[in-house]
Amino acid sequence: MGKIKVALQQRVIPNYRVPFFEKLGQYPEIELSIFSGFPRPNEMVSTADNIPKVEFVQTKNIHLLNHLFYICLQPEIHQWLKNFNPDIVILEANPRYLSSKKAIGWIKKTNKGLIGWGLGVPNHKSILDGLLTHSRNKFLNQFDALIAYSNQGKQQYIQTGIDEKKVFVAPNSTVPRPNNLPPQRKCGFQIEPPILLFVGRLQTRKRIDSLIRICSRLPEAILPELWIVGDGPILQELKDYAQNIFPRTTFWGGQFGEKLEEIFKRADLFIMPGTGGLAIQQAMSFGLPVIVAEGDGTQSNMVFPENGWSITPNNEEILYSTVVKALSDPEKLLEMGRHAYETIKNQANIDVMADVFINTIIHVNRLKNSDE
C-alpha cells in the first residue's frame, strides 16, 4: 500500500506551529500538503513561510467583518484540493471559514476522508444563539472524525451530538519531547530570592500589571524577583508601572534560543496570569511549576495539582494567595517542577500530538477503504 495523501488546511500558520507540521510530515505513512493564508494586519502574528520536507501552499485570505460575525474566505482551496487529489483532508473545524464549507461538497462527492481539527464548541450568548448552534452542529456532523485540542473540547463536541468514537484528543503542544534532564534548582530562598517568570507578548489581556501588583504585596520572607520576557505594545507602560510599584522587576525584552533557555533554567516559578500561554509548555519542559489562568481548556490536559495551579482568571486575590502558597513550600515547589517536566515528556509534546493525528488519519482511511 502506498502513502496516504493528506491535505491539511489552516487559516494561518504561526511560526510556533512549524515544528509540529515538520514532525507530522516526517511520518512514512503519509504524504502531506499544507494550505494556509495570511493573518489580518492587526493580529500581529508571525507566520511561517516554509515548512521543511512538506509541500506548503500559501494562499490569500479574505477577512470579512469582525467578532461574532467574522468570516474568512480562501477562494483557492478548491483548486488546491483538485491539484493534490488527497485521500484524507484535515480542515479547521470552524464554520466561519466559508470556503471550507464549499470544499466539503467536493470532498464528499469524491469520497475523501474528512477530519476536523479544533478547540471545541464555544458558548454563544446572543440573540442568534439558536441559529448559530444549529448551523455549527450541522457543519460538525459532516466530518468522519474530529481532533480536539483537549478533553474539554472533546466533551463539547460530544455534547453537540457527535459520536464519542469519532472524537480524538491531540494535546495542543508546541514543544518536542525533552531530551535533557531538568535543571537542578535551589531548595529554599534564604540566600537567594525566588525568581518568578512570565514569558509572552506584552498585551493588556495578559494581566501582567496584576502580577506586578501582587509581587509588591508579598511578605518579605518570600519577596521575589520578577522577570518579564517579551515585547509588545504595553512594554513602556509596564516598565513605568513596575518602577513605581515593584522595582525588583526585570524586563528582558524578546529572548530566544539559548538565552531564553538560560532564563527558564534560573527561574523558580512560571506565571501566566491572563489569557494565552503557549510558553507554559516550554516552562514545564524545563521543570518549572506553573500558575496559569484558566483559558480555552487546552491547559486542562497538562496542568494538574501535581505540577501547578489553574486559577480563576481576573481574580487578583486568588493569584496572590496561590503565589504565597507556592513560595511558602520550596520543597513542594521542586517536586511539582519534576512532575511538570514528566508531564511534558510523557503526555503533552508535539510527538504525542503528531501520533494522535497519524492514528486518526489511518483510522479514517481504513473506514473509507472499507466503504468502497
pLDDT tens digits for 301-345?
789 999 999 999 899 999 999 999 999 999 999 999 999 999 999
pLDDT band for position 126 (50/70/90)? low
Q: Given CA atoms 315, 341, 256, 188 in this order, what sign does their dihedral have?
A: positive
Per mean pLDDT, which range of 42-51, 143-152, 236-245 is the poorest? 42-51
What pLDDT digit, counting tens, does each position of 65-113 carry?
A: 988 789 999 999 999 999 999 999 999 999 999 999 889 999 999 999 9
| Integer Cα distance of 189 and 187 in angstroms | 7
Tell me the three state secondary structure of residue 303. coil
For strand 145-148 and strand 55-58, is the pairing parallel, antiparallel, or unpaired? unpaired
Q: Given CA atoms 225, 197, 237, 292 in this order, what sign does their dihedral have?
A: negative
CA 33 to chain centre: 22
Nearest partner of 120 among 166, 83, 151, 88, judged by Cα = 151
β-sheet with 88-92: strand ranges across = 55-58, 30-37, 4-12, 88-92, 113-118, 145-148, 167-169
Nearest partner of 114 among 130, 99, 103, judged by Cα = 103
E strands present in the chain:
4-12, 30-37, 55-58, 62-64, 71-73, 88-92, 113-118, 145-148, 167-169, 195-199, 225-229, 249-253, 269-272, 290-293, 308-311
pLDDT above 80: residue 300: no
CB atoms within 10 A of CB 369: 11
Q: Which residues contact 313 (CB under 8 A, 6 or more apart)?
A: 207, 274, 275, 293, 294, 295
Is CATH 3.40.50.2000 correct for 4-176+349-371?
yes
Answer left, alpha or beta for residue 257, where phi above 0 means left and psi between -120 and 50 means alpha: left
Per mean pLDDT, which range of 109-118, 134-143, 340-349 is the poorest? 134-143
pLDDT of amino acid 41: 86
Cell numbers found for residue 280: 507554559
Instruction: Check: CB of residue 149 under 8 Å from CB of residue 298.
Output: yes
Per mean pLDDT, which range of 215-229, 253-267, 298-312 is the poorest? 298-312
pLDDT above 60: residue 296: no
| Integer Cα distance of 219 and 324 in angstroms | 8
- One fold for both 4-176+349-371 and 195-346? yes
Q: What is the DSSP letter of 298?
A: G
What pLDDT digit, counting tens, does each position of 3-12 carry?
A: 999 999 999 9
pLDDT above 60: residue 128: no
The residues spanned by each domain of the chain are: 4-176+349-371, 195-346
CATH topology of domain 195-346: Rossmann fold (3.40.50)
Cell numbers found for residue 343: 508531564
φ, ψ dihedrals at 338, nearest 5°: -65, -40
pLDDT above 90: residue 57: yes
CB atoms within 10 A of CB 208: 28
More confident residue, 275 or 227: 227
Nearest partner of 23 among 175, 145, 171, 151, judged by Cα = 175
Q: Which residues contact 256 (CB under 8 A, 6 or more apart)?
A: none
E strands present in 65-192:
71-73, 88-92, 113-118, 145-148, 167-169
Cell numbers found for residue 219: 511578605
pLDDT of amino acid 298: 64
What pLDDT digit, counting tens, does each position of 166-179 carry?
A: 999 999 999 999 99
pLDDT of amino acid 124: 57
Q: What pTM did the predictor assign?
A: 0.90
pLDDT of amino acid 173: 92
CA 34 to chain centre: 19
Q: Which residues contact 305 (CB under 8 A, 6 or more apart)?
A: none
CB atoms within 10 A of CB 61: 18
Cell numbers found for residue 336: 511539582
What pLDDT digit, counting tens, does each position of 141-162 carry?
A: 999 999 999 898 999 999 989 9
